[in-house]
Structure 1
Amino acid sequence: MKTARIYQKPKNAMQSGRARTDSWILEFEPREQQQADPLTGWAGSGDTASQLRMSFPTLEAAQGYAEREGIAFHVIPAPERKLKLQAYSDNFR
């Protein structure tokens, strides 16, 4: 049986704004371990479902899709935003 995780895409470290962080992502958990290819040395597996990543506008839409398709899932809650309020004068303390 396929198992998926649903999470909200976090903000990138190089990103100052919150653009495109409101969508929810459904991706399948890997079913087999990755192995090194003897010829190229690249890691890979025969599990093609782990390459699939779907985006949904809301958590309810992602959960509805998983339930409709019979996919077991677990929701990873969005990380709490922490604001670091700092004044320019704090640099010279």
Structure 2
Amino acid sequence: MKFFTNLINNSFNKKVYDYIKSRDKLYKIKITSSPNNAEIIMNGEEKYFGAYKKGDIINYKVSLENYNTKEGSITVDDRDILENIVLETT
């Protein structure tokens, strides 16, 4: 029980607590790219994976030198989403 008390009282663990509290309401969104070394930006952060609530909108940008950049958005529904973005050469 001490673990949960520390979890609730420690602001460092607030994100973990929030996740545990609402984990059945979060959906995994993952973006992959081809070629696989492209830079992936999700909502202004360089990352390719996140957990979001239904209705959230994730704006993404996938880019790599000598390839056309692709931008778009994903609206989270009630399921996990795996989005594969294929870049075309310039």
Task: State whether TM-score is above 0.5.
Answer: no
Between Structure 1 and Structure 2, the one with more helix by share is: 2
The structure having more radius of gyration, on CA atoms, is: 1
The alignment's TM-score, normalised by the length of structure 2, stands at 0.29
Between Structure 1 and Structure 2, the one with more strand by share is: 2
